Structures are given as C-alpha cells and as structure tokens.
A and B are shown apart, each in its own frame.
Chain A
Amino acid sequence: MPKNILSVENLNGGYEVFVGRRRVFVHAVDDVTFSLHNNEVLGVAGESGCGKSTLAKMIYGAIIPPLLVKGGSISITTKGGEVLNINKLSIDEVRRKIWWIEISYIPQNSMNVLNPLKRIKDQFIDVFRYHGIKMDKTETVEHLRDTLTTLGLPPEVINAYPHQLSGGMRQRVVIALSLVFNPRIILADEPTTAVDVVTQRTILSLLKEWRENNKSSLVLISHDMSVHAYMDDRIAIMYAGNVVELGSSLDIFKEPLHPYTRALIESLIRKGDKSIRKGLAGQPPDLINPPPGCRFHPRCPYVMNICRSEEPVTTFLDNDRYVRCWLYTSSR
C-alpha cells in the first residue's frame, strides 16, 4: 500500500455571499474524499466552475471569507512526520508551518498574482524574508537566476516589472517561486494554460523531473485532459462540487465509468481532427441551487428516476478506483 501524505475526508465548503440582500451559500465543494499518496501526481479535472480551485484553496488552508469550510477534515503528514489537521490550525499557524515549506500553491491566473509595482527580484526577496531565510542580496539574485533559467526564462527577467512580461513568462516566474523551498506537496492550479505547447512541455517535464528527484507529490488541477494524460498517476474527475470518479489515468481514459467522464473523454479533439463534435448539451448547474439528487442528472443521457431525488453513493471498485453514480450501485 502506498503511503498517504494528505487525506481529505468528507470535505464540505463554499462561499457565503449576498445576492441582493439575501444571504446564500455557493456549495462549491460537496462531500469530497480522497487521499494523496507519497510521490505521486494526482490530477483534478472537471468543468469550469465545478470547484477545483476552491478545493485547492481549502487544502492550502487559504480560508479567507467569503470562503467557508462547513465540515470534513484535511490532514497532512509533515516533513518531520507530524500529522497536522489543516482545518484546525489558525491561519497564522498555516502560514508559518505549511505554506511554501510543506505545501506550495501555484494559483490559477498566476500571471496575476505578482505585485505590479515590484520588480520580480524584489518579490522573491519578500518571500525569503517572510520565512526568515537570511540570504544576502547577491546570493539571492544568483539563486534566482538559476531557478529562472531552468524554466527557460532569460536572466534579465529578474529586473523586470510584471507588465513587461508576456502571460506565459509571468506564469513561469510564479512556478519558479513556488519551488524554492522544496515543498513536499505542490498544488498547481492550471499551471500551463497560458503557454505555447513547446513551453508547456518544457514546464511539465521540468515539474515532472523536479518532483521525481524530490519525491514530492503534485496535485495538478487542469481542465486539459492532454495534460492529465501526460502527467498523472491518478485522476479525480469533479462535477459541480463532487468528485464523481477517481482512478488511474489509464482506467479513466480507457474505461471511463461516470457519464460525465465519458462525455468529457468523447469531447476531446485530437490534432488533425475536424469532425464536428457536440460537446455536452445543457449548462453546468448553479451551485447556489444545485439540482436535487445527482447534480449531473439534468444533463445525463442515462438518467433514471432515483437520480432525480437521491444523491448517489460512492461505489468502490478497488482501493484506488471509485465512482459516484446510481448506474453502478443498482447493478451491484
């Protein structure tokens, strides 16, 4: 059995917001359970707005209102072997003990997270200073140049302001920043959406190599199934706040079980393919008012009566493969 370094159990959460004067809850992560093994790549795929980034923020412990954790637990085994419950720690403790050192987070739209008023070099120096790491300026700059060079960036970048860099360059700067403290877990939210395919492969290969050398684990969030095919050991498929299916990459691609996963795999366009695709009719649900029963039922081609009223239960096929769909419960 592989060792787990992160376990997420029955996690529930979302955003408490006002619509007009009415207080509503956007239920973006609903009863999510999975574990992250030591030294693996776990992909998270799913539709736009299904809660992937919210899940990442919750794991990172970046719970800032209106984001709210309603229940469940997230536990992590640290470098020192200590087991910490991330959602029991105060934000200050999370910041000191977890961020950058145990878990690094490459946020979505990372091209946007850089401070527009500071040169790249000063942004790095701030992070070093924050963690009390003493490095003199020339040493930092040397270290920086090296990290940036491995990601295919010219050394001049350290003196640039963010607006002087293209989208893809800014993204690589943020990735470089996230690796500096050798974290055991990297949460990467759409790390290569803004770069060309050559650079994408370079970044992914570098992340792969870096991860293998450090025996770290990577949670890779992407809506791009080709990225998952290239990188993942296992994939979790999300739909409207639920993980609807989880399994090894080969299984998910070769034998998708959940009707959403099937539609997803069938919508993939390969290079040199012009045949008309339909995608999936209908819209992803509003998470303030998710449909009753299975959240996918309004778009599901195999919908049955039970799907309209009762939430599906999780069916385990083996330790590392499960699906959350009535089709598989009734047949058992």
Chain B
Amino acid sequence: MENENMLKIESVTKLYGYGILGLKKFKALDSVSMNVNLERPKIAVLAGETGSGKTTLLRIIMGIVKPEIGRVLYRGYDIHKLKGSTARWYRKEVQPIFQDPYEAFNPLRRVDSYFYDTVTNICGIKDKDEIMYRIDESLRFVGLSLDRVSGKYPHEFSGGELQRISIARALLTTPRILLADEPVSMLDATLRVGILNILKDLKEKLNMIIIYVTHDLSTAYYVGDDISVMYRGTLVEHGPISKVYQEPRHPYTSALLNSVLEPDPSLRDKYPAVKPSSLELKEFLIAGCRYANRCPYAKEICWTTLPPYIDVDGVNVRCWKHLDYKL
C-alpha cells in the first residue's frame, strides 16, 4: 500500500476563537496539505510569518492538537485516533524539540529525570550502565555531558543550554521524524553550525526526517532540502529550496527573502524599508489570498477567492498571478 511509508497531512484546518468570549473563529490553519515520504530522509524547512500557524501544524502532527477538518495519516494510521501500544509507538517515532525550551521542562523537576524516563519507559532499556551511556552520548552530541546536567533544574541553565538539552532528549528514542521548532534560535554561530551539522548527520547517517521550523533563512538554506512557506494559516509555496531561493514564485516568499539581514554592517542602509502591519487578524479573515492586503500585484480576485495550488516548474505555489488571475 502506498500509505505504508508516508506521512500525509490531508487538507488540515484548525479553528481558534478570538474576541472577548472567543466565540468568533478564525482559521489558524486553512486546508494545509503536505506529503512526506518516510523512506526518503530529508530536512524539510517550514518558514513563514510569526503567527502563521507553524507551531500549530507541528502540534497537530504530534497529535496534541486536533484539527476541525482534515486528518493526519502516519503509515496509514490516523494519528488522532491512536490508542494503547500504537499510540506509544507513534510517540517514539515522532519527537519534538520545542520552540521555547522553558516550556518543555517542568520548572520543579530535575532535567535529568526526563532523560531517565525516556530511556526506561519509551526505549525500554533497563541496564543501568547502558542507560547512563545512552544519556551521556546524546548530551555529548550537543556539546554537553551528563555530569554537567545531573541534578539540576531548568532555571539553572542558560536559554541556549536548555535548548541543546531538549535536542539531546529528543534524540534518545532515535525517532523517524524530528519536529524541530526553532532549535538553534538561541545559539551563537559557532555552536549553531555544530547543531546544524548534527541535523545533517541525523538525516544522512540515521535516515531521519527533520521538519525544521525556522525564521533564519540563511541556516534554512544551509541544511534544507525543500521549503514550505506559510502565511496566515495557508501554505503559499512549496518546493526544492534552491529553486525557491533562486526564483521565489509567491510575492510573500520574495518579501521574506529580501528581508534577510546579512552579517555585514556596511549593508545597513541598503535594505528596503519595512511597513509594520497591524492587521494580523484581519488578514486571517480575508476570504481570498491572505497576502492580498500587502501584495503589490493584488487584483480583485485575490481578495475574494483563495487561489488553488498550481505547479510552476516543479514548485507548488498558491498565487493568482501565475494563473493570469483566472480560474
């Protein structure tokens, strides 16, 4: 069966409430689809606007948030309907690294206790030396060691250290899919390169699939194989990363790539001006393309109708411009 080796996200829509009582709803995700072949290791970059729904999508893949419409299939199983041992199996297969490491650890619990729990409960290892070895090994992967983590609570670490600890924890179960939500956002360049190289190694040596959410489009290119760009709950462009960077098809992707800051002070005055937009929610509520409000190419149809996905030279894009503004 072709479903056997696929992670399929099928037209997923997630509604959240807003307004004083939260009774009015907006689509934090609107018909998002994505297919990942589990036999083909890759680093899939998920980029996009703050608040565009990236974390929500990862939470849906983990099964902790349930979509109102659509479903997620992992090797043919609907992951929101798993029970008992299949649910446990899925938890081992898919491991998250959270955006905010302080959120991932209970402040009153010692950090190393999570490692012991994961190794014994999820991996089922009982031998004491083996347990210590596994934990130390995974911590050394990220430039730490069990010695330095032992007996400490989350607040005793710096932001970056805790981030590295949560990566180490996720590696313990040797998952098939790693959901990495901004995993290197808190590290300096010398360590960041190290972690990114680790992600590459995980892909190449352990055949992992890594969904890498990031705002840093320079590192995205360094490690990424393909990229999906989100804007206000919709996926606006998806394709091989080199193609998308060379010639972005969606106007939002262009805007994003043009805003990347370079590590060079002499370029300071060369960036295009930015306009703050205060219309986040309003944009979520637009019936058509959410970017219409800011798009230099927007026409009537863009406001009223969400464009379908079309294939332009091997890149999927949702933009009326490529359809000559006609269905």
Contacts and interface: CB of A to CB of B under 8 A. Distances in A.
Interface of A: 15, 17, 19-20, 45-49, 53, 108-109, 111-112, 148-156, 159-160, 164-169, 190, 193-202, 205-206, 223, 225-230, 232, 249-250, 253, 263-265, 267-274, 276-280, 283-284, 286
Contact of A49 (B158, B219, B222): B158
Nearest to B294: A198
Given A167-B55, A229-B262, A270-B218, A47 B190 contact: yes
Contacts of A280: 190-191, 194
Contact of B159 (A156, A160, A190, A199): A190
B259 A197 contact: yes
B256 A197 contact: yes
B95 interface: no
For the complex of A and B, the 10 pairs showing the least CB-CB separation, nearest first, are A48-B160, A168-B50, A279-B193, A166-B51, A223-B188, A226-B261, A280-B190, A152-B276, A267-B189, A49-B158
Given A159-B20, A230-B261, A250-B265, A269 B193 contact: yes
Contacts of A195: 50, 215
Given A150-B276, A268-B189, A273-B218, A200 B158 contact: no
Contacts of A225: 189, 263
B279 interface: yes
B161 A269 contact: no
B47 interface: yes
Nearest to A286: B148
Contacts of B148: 286
Contact of A53 (B159, B255, B280): B159
A253 B265 contact: yes
A279 B261 contact: no
A154 B185 contact: no
B263 A109 contact: no
Contacts of A205: 273-274
Given A168-B51, A196-B47, A272-B245, A48 B186 contact: yes
Nearest to A263: B190
A193 B197 contact: no
Given A223-B189, A228-B263, A229-B264, 13 more contacts: A53-B158, A112-B100, A150-B278, A159-B20, A167-B55, A167-B99, A197-B260, A229-B267, A250-B265, A264-B189, A271-B260, A273-B218, A274-B222
Interface in B271-299: 271, 273-282
Contact of B100 (A20, A109, A197, A199): A109
Interface string B171-192: 0000000000010011111111
B96 interface: no
A205 B47 CA distance: 22
B193 A278 contact: yes
A149 B276 CA distance: 8
Contact of B191 (A160, A197, A227, A279): A279
B131 interface: no
B158 A48 contact: yes
